[in-house]
Chains A and B, each alone.
Chain A
Amino acid sequence: MSEGVKILIPTALRPQVEDQETIAATGSSVREVLGSLTSRYPELGKRLFSEQQEINRFINVYVNDEDIRFLEDLDTALKPGDELSLVPAIAGG
C-alpha cells in the first residue's frame, strides 16, 4: 500500500472502523477514497454523509492541510502519499 492514501480517523469515528487510527486506501479523488471506505464500513458512512450524500457539515475533511470545501470538494484529486484527515469540531473543555 506504499502508493496509497492514508486516512486519519478521529477518536469520535473509530468505533465505526474497528478502532483503527489510520486506514490505507487507494483512489484518485476524495469521493472515490471515501466511497470505498464507507462501503467497507457502512456505519462510518452514516456518520460522515448526509442523506443527500454530502459530507455532514460538522465534519471537515482535509487533504494534507487544506480543507476540501475550498478545493474541489469531493472531487478533489488525490495522489499517492496524500493524507486525508476527517476532523470533527472538538467540543469538550
Chain B
Amino acid sequence: MSQDLSRYHRQMLLPGFGEDGQRKLLASKVLVLGCGALGTVIANLLARAGVGHLVIADRDFIEMTNLQRQVLFDEQDVKDAIPKAEAARRRIEQINSQVKVTAVIDDINHANIEKLAEGCDAIIDGVDNFETRFLANDCAVKLGIPYIYGGAVGTVGMTYAILPHTPTGDSPWERAGVATPCLRCIFEQAPPPGMNPTCETAGVLAPVVSIISSYEVSEALKVLTGNWDAVCPTMLSIDTWSNTVKQFKVRRAYDVGECVCCKGRRFEHLEGKYSSATTTLCGRNAVQLSQPTGANGKLDFDRIAERLRAHGTVTASKFMLRADIKDNGQQYELTLFTDGRAIVKGTKEAKTAKSIYAKYVGA
C-alpha cells in the first residue's frame, strides 16, 4: 500500500532517515507502556512521526491533576471519565489518521505483557513503577525486542535504551556490535516502597517529563529506522533544577556483571515471582488491586453502583465506576474496572485497600 509521505517531509530530510526510514516507521509496531506523563508525550511524538501501529496500554483514568503534564488530555476527558488509553486513541486519530492505535485498558502484568509485545519492534517505557519496568525488561530480553527505559520524578529524570543480547546473537543491533546491558544489569533491585519520593510527595515538573520522554522517542526513532550506531550507549541522568546532566557508562555491567536476566536468561519477573496482587501507585495515595472476576468475566456495574450509592457519590461509564466512600471516619475513593481491577484512593496500605474492596464490592 502506498501512503502519502509529504506530511513527513521535514523529518525525511534528516540524515539517516529519508523515504526508506519513513517507510520503516510506517511499517513499525510499538508498545507504549503506560499513558501518563511520559506516555502521552511518547504516544504524541510517535504518532506525529508516523509510526504505523501503536499499542497503548494503561490501566488508569484521567484526573484534573494530570492535565498539568499529560499532553494528550483535556478537561472534557476528565468530565467524561475516559480511560487514558482510549482518550489517547481518540486524540491520535485526529492527529494522524495514518497511524493505527490499539488502546489496551488494562493493568500490565506478567500474564499479559508478552502478548502485548508480540510482533512489536520496540517497547517504550511510560510507566510509573519499577515492578512493571522489570517486567518490561524481562519481556524485552526474552523476546529480543529493544526496550527504552525512562523515569521522572520531581525535577529529575533518567533514560536508557536497552538493545538486548539474544541467545543467537544475530539481531540487527548485535550484528552492528551495539547491544547494551539490560535494566537488571544496571539496577539489580527496585527501590523499596517509601524510599524514593513519588510524584505525590515530591511533585513533578512537566518539562523534565517532556525531556525524558522526548529523549526516549528520539532513541526509538533511531531503533525503528535501523540507525543502530546512533543509539546512545550510556544512561542519561538529568536534573533540570540543579542544572546537572550526567551520562553514566554501562557497558561493563554486561561484560563483567552476572545478570540473572540477560546473561542467565531467567525471567523471574515474567514468571510472576515478584508480582503482587496489590500495587501502591506512584504519585497518589492509592493502592491497586487485581481481583479475579471468576467465570462470568465482567463486573456488574449497575448492581454495584446501586449498593454503593448508599455510601456516597457514584459515577459510572461503560469503562469504570467511581465511588466516594466514607469508612471508619476515613474518606476513600474506589474506582472499579470491568475486569475486576480496583484502585482504592485514600490509603497506601494493601490491607486497607483489600478491606475496602471486600466490604463494598465483595471479595
> Which chain A residues have a beta carbon within 8 Å of chain B's beta carbons?
8, 10-12, 21, 47, 56-60, 62, 65-67, 69-70, 85, 87-93
Contact = CB atoms under 8 A, between A and B. Distances in A.
B282 A85 contact: no
Contacts of B11: none
Contact of A91 (B36, B126, B129, B250): B129
Contacts, number: 111
Contacts of A89: 130, 151, 158, 187, 190-191, 196
Contact of A65 (B129, B151, B209, B247): B247
Interface string B251-285: 01101110000000000000000000000001100
B299 interface: no
B256 A70 contact: yes
B353 interface: no
Given A12-B195, A57-B189, A65-B248, A93 B156 contact: no
Contact of B199 (A21, A67, A87, A92): A92
Contacts of B255: 70
Given A47-B195, A66-B252, A92 B153 contact: yes
B244 A93 contact: no
Contact of B249 (A67, A91, A93): A67
Contact of A8 (B38, B127, B244): B244
A58 B151 CA distance: 15
A54 B204 CA distance: 31
Could you say which interface size class chain B belongs to?
35 or more
A57 to B, nearest CB: 4
Interface of B: 34, 36-39, 125-130, 133, 150-158, 186-192, 195-199, 202, 204, 209, 234, 237, 239, 242, 244, 246-250, 252-253, 255-257, 282-283
Contact of A90 (B158, B247, B257): B158
A64 to B, nearest CB: 9
Nearest to A56: B189
A62 B158 CA distance: 15
A90 B157 contact: yes
Contacts of B187: 58, 60, 89
Contacts of B151: 89-93
Nearest to A62: B248
A92 B188 contact: no
Nearest to A91: B130
B234 A65 contact: yes
14 contacts: A8-B244, A11-B155, A12-B196, A57-B188, A58-B190, A58-B195, A60-B186, A60-B248, A88-B196, A90-B158, A92-B204, A93-B38, A93-B125, A93-B153
Given A12-B196, A69-B257, A88-B195, A93 B189 contact: no
A85 B249 CA distance: 13
A43 to B, nearest CB: 12
Nearest to A71: B252
Contacts of B190: 58, 89, 91
A62 B247 CA distance: 11
A12 B282 CA distance: 14
Contacts of B246: 65, 85
Contact of A93 (B37, B247, B250, B256): B37
A39 to B, nearest CB: 21
A93 B188 contact: no
A90 B152 contact: yes
A56 B192 CA distance: 10
Given A65-B247, A65-B248, A93 B253 contact: no
Contacts of A70: 252-253, 255-257
Given A91-B130, A92-B151, A58 B282 contact: no
A12 to B, nearest CB: 5
A87 B239 CA distance: 12
A91 B282 contact: yes
A53 B190 CA distance: 19
Contacts of A58: 187-192, 195
